[in-house]
Structure 1
Amino acid sequence: MKQVRKPYSKHSIPQQAFDWYDDYAHGRMDRRTFLSRLATLSVMGFSVPSLLGGLTPDYAQAEQVSFNDPAIKASFQIFPSPSGHGEGRGYWVAPTGTTETRPGVLVVHENRGLNPYIKDVARRLAKAGFVAFAPDALYPVGGYPGNDDAGRDLQRNLSRHKIEADFLAAASFLKGHSATTSKTGAVGFCFGGYMVNYLVAAGKNLLDAGVVFYGTPAAEELQNNINTPLLIHLAGLDERVNSSWPSYESKLRQLKADFEMHEYEGANHGFHNDSTARYSPGDAELAWQRTLAFFDRHLR
């Protein structure tokens, strides 16, 4: 019988492999180059298939809250987006057992569509007592395709302007829904982190709190509009995103914005995503508890 090598763990994967994966996942390196660079690690005893197994998501291993959990109810809802793609669709998760309205939290995915990890984040928020709404930017082209590489290609080829308009529309839909209070927050990861920064800059008075996981700022010409409390999580090893932070921090201080930032030493971009070896359990849990406390403070 052929022996299958298990994926390497976070602690055994060389840092340069994480860095190359980040370049590949964000369009700064093509797949052929990425695989060629991984192959150079073979002299150190690493196999490309096992490295890929550790670097790419295994969503079956990442579920924390089942969609069958009786404390929540999940469904899909359509919302109008006249300035975007016409309409959008998102994953709606609400607590069960009560008819009272709850604060809403928009959940914004990475640069590959509404994958299972982001759905699970929405369910975690509902378990914490919020109404969570996670739109899929790929809905206009059939939705998340079940494969991250294909999802990245689809999202890369959509109009960024229309995607931004879709998320503005989704936030408005959530804020005005009969199941939610007037208090609305947003949390986003990677591209979603950028989108939260964009929403607090472009959507005047739309959000009451924003949480950014390793996301870049909105365009400089929009930043003067920021008046929403922000919680920003940065990964210590994420040079690409962190290079944008000093000027953004300077602008937030100039605006006297209500913000706090936490940098997690030794963590990689994507450290909250528990489906890959980039996951850092201690950092992810601390960041999540800070996120829930931030939403409790500003949305309850």
Structure 2
Amino acid sequence: MEPKATKLPAEAIALYNEFIHGDISRRSFMDGIHKLAGGLAAASVISALMPNYALGQQVSRTDDRIKATYETVPSPQGNGSIKGYFVRPMSADTRNEKPTKLPGVIVIHENRGLNPHIEDIARRFALANFMAFAPDGLTSVGGFPGDDYRGGQLFNQVDKTKMAEDMIASARWLKARPDCTGKIGATGFCYGGSTTNMLAVQLGGDLAAAAPFYGGPPTATDIPKIKAAVLVHHGELDTRLAATWPAYDQGLTAAHVPHEGYIYAGCVHGFNCDATPERYNKVAADLAWQRTIHWFNQYVRV
């Protein structure tokens, strides 16, 4: 595929990725951009790198083809409870909730919490005729605060072991809903991609399929616990994570787990996020989405 022409230097995007992953401070990020761009241009570069949720919205919150609510899920092994965004498709003729049971998809955010982009991803799954639940790992510290920088700060305050239990509780809640078929898949991005792999390990046969986007793989000893069909997405230029795929591929093969993995040419970490246009690669994101929907139709809907 043809890579997207990038308007900003690769070094700027790399600095942004280090910043959002907590590898460098906000000051180091801004200083680095100033060194790259210099003067007034730095402000434009920083602005271009920040998320634009309106730009990345594909499905309106008020779209009458869906019904969305915020639900609170018990999580006794985690932080006590976790709040999330639950979306179902509506019937085309009456605009009522479809009476038939639907398969479910857990949608897991990056390391900033349940921001508007992840909620939009959940709505996209509803339009693909799944019920979707996007939990907010920041629930115990007040929830997503409205911007990604503060969300990242709060993310670092949450006990990660308890947050993992919150995500497991969310998946089990979705699977057990009376309007769910009892088959669920999981997808997520960055932290959410790693957590999707974690759910595949921890849930075993209770998870039908997993589609992690640029997430860290499980340990070699955990891979044999996976029963879900696994579809992996990485960006070619996200070299650290892309380099983990061959060993994960070998481990899944040895464990006889149905799986596929794709490395998207010319793509950086976060290539699926249309709310961050300097990382977004529309060609790759559209293809990855088509593959994910096909994967879930194949393994979660049946």
Q: TM-score range by the shorter chain?
A: over 0.9
User: Deviation at 1:10?
Assistant: 6.2
Q: CA RMSD in A?
A: 1.5
1:227 corresponds to: 227
User: Deviation at 1:287?
Assistant: 0.6
Q: Distance in 2 between matches of 1:32 and 1:78?
A: 36
8 Å contact 1:103–1:130 — kept in the other structure?
yes
Q: Does 1:259 align with 2:222?
A: no
8 Å contact 2:242–2:263 — kept in the other structure?
no
User: Deviation at 1:204?
Assistant: 2.0
Aligned ranges for residues 208-223 of structure 1 at < 5 Å?
208-223=208-223
2:187 corresponds to: 187
Range that drifts further, 236-245 or 59-68: 236-245
2:57 corresponds to: 63
In the alignment, which of 10, 24, 27 is matched to residue 19 of structure 2? 24
1:39 corresponds to: 34
Aligned ranges for residues 279-290 of structure 1 at < 5 Å?
279-290=280-291
Range that drifts further, 91-100 or 112-121: 91-100
Range that drifts further, 140-149 or 30-39: 30-39
For structure 2, list consecutive stretches of 5 or more residues without a partner in the other structure: 92-97
1:72 corresponds to: 66
Q: 1:70 corresponds to which letter in structure 2?
A: D
Q: TM-score, length-normalised on structure 2?
A: 0.93
1:147 corresponds to: 147
User: Deviation at 1:245?
Assistant: 2.3
1:6 corresponds to: none
2:116 corresponds to: 116
8 Å contact 1:10–1:279 — kept in the other structure?
no
1:81 corresponds to: 75
Residues 263/46 of structure 1: CA separation in 2 closer, same or farther (3 Å cut): farther
Q: Distance in 1 between matches of 2:281 and 2:215?
A: 17
User: Deviation at 1:244?
Assistant: 2.4
Q: Distance in 1 between matches of 2:223 and 2:114?
A: 27
Identity %: 40
User: Deviation at 1:223?
Assistant: 2.2
User: Deviation at 1:250?
Assistant: 2.3
Q: Distance in 2 between matches of 1:51 and 1:196?
A: 32
Cα deviation digits, residues 54-93 of structure 1 (max 9, x gap)? 2110112111001111110000111111100011111000
1:5 corresponds to: none
The 3-state SS of whatever aligns with 1:263 is strand
In the alignment, which of 3, 8, 18 is matched to residue 13 of structure 1? 8
For structure 1, list consecutive stretches of 5 or more residues without a partner in the other structure: 1-8
8 Å contact 2:270–2:279 — kept in the other structure?
yes
The 3-state SS of whatever aligns with 2:222 is helix
The 3-state SS of whatever aligns with 2:291 is helix
Q: Distance in 1 between matches of 2:256 and 2:120?
A: 34
The 3-state SS of whatever aligns with 2:54 is helix
Q: TM-score, length-normalised on structure 1?
A: 0.94
Q: 2:153 corresponds to which letter in structure 1?
A: D
User: Deviation at 1:202?
Assistant: 1.4
8 Å contact 1:41–1:47 — kept in the other structure?
no
Residues 53/10 of structure 1: CA separation in 2 closer, same or farther (3 Å cut): farther
Range that drifts further, 45-54 or 64-73: 45-54
Range that drifts further, 247-256 or 110-119: 247-256
2:299 corresponds to: 298
Could you say which structure has the greater relative contact order, defined with CA pairs below 8 angstroms and 6 or more residues apart? 2
Q: Distance in 2 between matches of 1:29 and 1:89?
A: 29
User: Deviation at 1:11?
Assistant: 2.1
Q: 1:131 corresponds to which letter in structure 2?
A: M
The 3-state SS of whatever aligns with 1:68 is coil
User: Deviation at 1:46?
Assistant: 7.5
Q: Distance in 1 between matches of 2:156 and 2:203?
A: 23
